[in-house]
Structure 1
Amino acid sequence: MKTVIFDLDGTLADTSGDLLEAANHCFRDMGYGDVLEPGRDAGIALRGGRRMLAAGLERVGAFEEAKIDAYYPVLLEAYGAAISVHTVMYPGAIDAVEQLKTLGYGVGICTNKPEGLAEQLLTEIGVRNAFDALVGADTLPVRKPDPAPLIETARRLGGNPKMTLLVGDSDTDRNTAKAAGVPSVLVTFGPSGEDMAALEPEALLDDYAALPAVVQSLIGPS
């Protein structure tokens, strides 16, 4: 089986609003108020919890690695308590997933979000059953851009890891696919979309409606 594997944050869904609120919960607890701003800081949010904490502390001139270590669990707890308040799937994402499955491709998710939180989010927004495999940041001892999580996702789908494709939104995804020796497709509608062309993926995606044709052109019919 040929497979199509998706990143989650910034690729399938805009999760930035809930991520930023979790980070600001931490900054309020520190006494700084809401340091990160929805919209403006969406790109930072999609780089993960530790990056948000670092960016916020740098902004208020109080960066300490120890403070990031201390507040990261607090951020994860706050995020898990309100994980799907502002999160929305990108237009056409699930339609594209269902069309790929109809065409015979295996479809899964490989994310650097902790597996439990990814499962929770996908379940709460009602799309978990659309994906036949999920590998998170802590599923294996390594995370993207190490190729092992991508390879494991393809394996769990019953696919050939050399006949897969990764849809993502960052240099992490580009480097993961490159390390695995497979094509990457980077979406241009996320917060960092204008930067994707410089990463020279095998394809750029402006609209999910075009994805099935892009997949067929890169890895062939299933």
Structure 2
Amino acid sequence: MTQPLLVFDLDGTLVDTAPDLVASLNHSLASAGVEPAERDSIGFHVGMGGRAMIERAYALRARTLSPIELEKLAAIFLAHYTDNIPGTSKPYPGVVEAIERHKVAGFGFAICTNKPEALALRLIETLGLAPYFSAVCGADTFPFRKPDARHLLETIARAGGSPDAAIMVGDSKTDIHTAQNAGVPVVAVDFGYTDRHVSEYDPSVVISAYDELTLALSNKLLAASRGRVAQPA
């Protein structure tokens, strides 16, 4: 029997990285003489990468941002973020306990993120999470990325799993649509980085804390997924 698998998004799902992402944003803005941004003003863009955050900060100030300047600031952002990993980033409350109880029950684990693979690996290694994950696939691991279903499907394959024995856990429209495109059930956390409540994207289930990610819930989702696969076309 194929090992059941939990596949996590990273930023906003597994680890709260917002404070460090905003710190790197403000470092890059300062280099251009732009006043710092507040976390609340950046909103869901904090989960969309450095370029999106910089563009948001400039748009809020009605400032022109040329492609050349954007690339320069993005490089400064990336260097600062990389040099300061893990900073104050930390796993969300209860996520390690949720992983542990699923591990005891025979589950495997993987990460499917639009963060560059090297940064994802460095982050989970410095936080002591790396031993849990048999695959960590980032934005540059494959020639495609979320919400392309292949990003999730290839991550599952690298972890030795099967789509009919996998569950995606994410915090955004991108994660939910990726799982839906792949035919994989998706648990949406409602405390991550999103502009609209995750329930609007019709995930399999929404949780507000990791103590809600129980074995009973995971087994129910997997049973329903296998039932759909078994239905005749």
1:42 deviation in Å?
4.9
**For each residue in 1:125-168, what CA deviation from the matched residue of structure 2 results, as whole angstroms up to 9, or x when unmatched?**
11111212110111111111111121111112211123211100
Q: How far apart, CA to CA, are the structure 1 residues paired with 2:67 and 2:185? A: 36
TM (norm. structure 1) is 0.93
Give matches, 1:143-158, under 5 Å.
Answer: 143-158=145-160
Could you say if the C-alpha distance between residues 74 and 193 of structure 1 is closer, same or farther in structure 2, counting changes exceeding 3 Å? closer
| Other-structure match for 1:44 | 45
| Other-structure match for 1:11 | 13
Q: How far apart, CA to CA, are the structure 2 residues paired with 1:100 and 1:50? A: 36
| Other-structure match for 2:59 | 58
Could you say if the C-alpha distance between residues 191 and 137 of structure 1 is closer, same or farther in structure 2, counting changes exceeding 3 Å? closer
Question: Percent identity at matched positions?
Answer: 36
- Report SS of the residue matched to 2:187: strand
**For each residue in 1:82-137, what CA deviation from the matched residue of structure 2 results, as whole angstroms up to 9, or x when unmatched?**
12112121100011111111111211110111000011111111111121211011
Contact 1:57 1:64 in 2 (8 A): no
The alignment status of 1:87 with 2:89, answered yes or no, reads: yes
- Report SS of the residue matched to 1:141: coil
| Other-structure match for 2:217 | 214
Bigger-Rg structure (1/2): 2
Could you say if the C-alpha distance between residues 126 and 193 of structure 1 is closer, same or farther in structure 2, counting changes exceeding 3 Å? farther
1:173 deviation in Å?
0.2
| Other-structure match for 2:228 | none
One-letter code of the match for 1:167?
A: V
Contact 1:20 1:38 in 2 (8 A): yes
Give matches, 1:1-222, under 5 Å.
Answer: 1-34=3-36, 36-60=37-61, 61-192=63-194, 195-212=197-214, 213-220=216-223
Q: How far apart, CA to CA, are the structure 2 residues paired with 1:55 and 1:65? A: 14
Calculate the aligned-residue CA RMSD, in Å: 1.7
Q: How far apart, CA to CA, are the structure 2 residues paired with 1:56 and 1:156? A: 37
Q: How far apart, CA to CA, are the structure 1 residues paired with 2:92 and 2:13? A: 8
Q: How far apart, CA to CA, are the structure 1 residues paired with 2:71 and 2:195? A: 30
- Report SS of the residue matched to 2:39: coil
1:25 deviation in Å?
1.0
- Report SS of the residue matched to 1:150: helix
TM (norm. structure 2) is 0.88
Q: How far apart, CA to CA, are the structure 1 residues paired with 2:88 and 2:39? A: 10
Aligned length: 220
Contact 2:43 2:195 in 1 (8 A): no
Could you list the structure 1 runs, at least 4 aligned residues long, displaced by more than 4 angstroms after superposition: none
